[in-house]
Amino acid sequence: MEKIKVSAVRYINSYPFMIGLRDGEVAKMIDLEVCHPSECADRLIAGRSDLGLIPVAMIAGMKEYHLVGDYCLSTNGEVRTVLLVSNTPFEEISTIYLDYRSRSSVTLCRILAALAWKKEYAWHPAPEEFEITAMKHGEAAVMIGDRCFEYARHFRYRLDLGLEWKKFTGLPFVFACWVSTRKLPEHFTALFNKALGEGLARRNESVGLLAEGSSATPEEVIFYLNHNMDYRLDHLKRKALEKFIGYIKELDITP
């Protein structure tokens, strides 16, 4: 069998998956690469990977997709690593910069602005060299991923977008799912799903994958993976996913 090309996310919240895919029986069946969430989606849609952990906002525009396995990246409230940050009180914000690394998070912010906060902003994509700590009065930015552990403390005002969604809908929020654009062999998907579960059972070992000089402490990571993150793609998460995609279409947002 030709190896399945798998794209995974390079952030701490995906480390448990990486452990399972590295050590599980499925390891010999895959070519695994890690990249930013938006890159995972681009690779899958372009056919350069067979299976990817992609931002769920991208599903809204896909003609065919298959959710693979019983796991995802989600939260049931405060997620900690998807934030709207500013040194300006939020009622005075007029401009929001959008992180290019994840389309689900920036789409979530736009949905919350329109439907929950009922405010209009000037939206600007943040370039790769964007200096988030140099924002001016009236400016805010969506910040995602591991950099939240390092930079969040630099801002006087922080909104956790997972918590804002929970307040608005009463539902958890799904940031990313394992998605393929074609039906994969059942034998493979069963072993893949098993590996994900095995990795999650060992999630505390993720501290061993932290890069030298990481701003996240082992204690922070263990709490984050066990309390902020929620990995089971259950009925309630699927309902939340449908609602999110419905809002994307209702507001005609292009992720």
CATH architecture designation of domain 4-75+174-251: 3-Layer(aba) Sandwich (3.40)
**% of residues, the chain, pLDDT over 90:** 84
Residues with Cβ within 8 Å of 36's Cβ and at least 6 positions away in sequence, in order, are 9, 10, 101, 102
Provide the pLDDT for residue 213: 66
Residue 184 pLDDT > 90: yes
Residues 179 and 66: their CA atoms lie apart, in Å, by 5
Provide the pLDDT for residue 92: 97
**Which helix or strand (DSSP H or E) is residue 151 part of?**
helix 147-151
Q: Record the tokens describing residue 242, joined without a space.
A: 């449908």
- Going by their DSSP bridges, the two strands 139-144 and 82-86 should be labelled as antiparallel
Q: Tell whether the torsion through CA atoms of 88, 116, 249 and 238 is positive or negative.
A: positive
Residues 144 and 180: their CA atoms lie apart, in Å, by 24
- What pLDDT band is residue 129 in, cutting at 50, 70 and 90? confident
| Range name among 35-39, 47-51, 148-152 with the lowest pLDDT average | 35-39
HSE toward the beta carbon, residue 180, CA cutoff 13 A: 15
| 127 exposure class (CB count in 10 Å sphere: 0-12, 13-18, 19+) | exposed
Q: Which of 177, 208, 176 is nearest to 192 (CA)?
A: 177
Q: What is the pLDDT of residues 202-222, one digit of tens each?
A: 999 999 988 766 889 999 999
**DSSP secondary structure code for residue 238 in this structure:** H
Q: Which of 218, 102, 112, 202 is nearest to 165 (CA)?
A: 112
How far does CA 249 lie from the centroid of its chain? Answer: 20
- Hey, is 201 helix, strand or coil? helix
Topology of the domain comprising 82-169:
D-Maltodextrin-Binding Protein; domain 2 (3.40.190)
Query: Considering the chain, what is the average pLDDT of its residues?
Result: 94
Q: Record the tokens describing residue 222, joined without a space.
A: 């263990």
Provide the whole-model pTM.
0.94
Which sequence spans correspond to the domains of the chain?
Answer: 4-75+174-251, 82-169
Strand order in the sheet with 139-144: 122-126, 95-99, 139-144, 82-86, 157-160
Q: What is the mean pLDDT of residues 117-127?
A: 94
Task: Return the residue matching tokens 């609602």.
Answer: 243
The answer to whether the beta carbons of residues 158 and 151 sit under 8 Å apart is no
- Going by their DSSP bridges, the two strands 4-9 and 51-55 should be labelled as parallel
Paired with 97 in beta bridges are: 124, 141
Residues 42 and 28: their CA atoms lie apart, in Å, by 24
Q: What is the pLDDT of residues 49-94, one digit of tens each?
A: 999 999 999 999 898 999 999 999 999 999 999 999 999 999 999 9
- Going by their DSSP bridges, the two strands 173-180 and 51-55 should be labelled as antiparallel
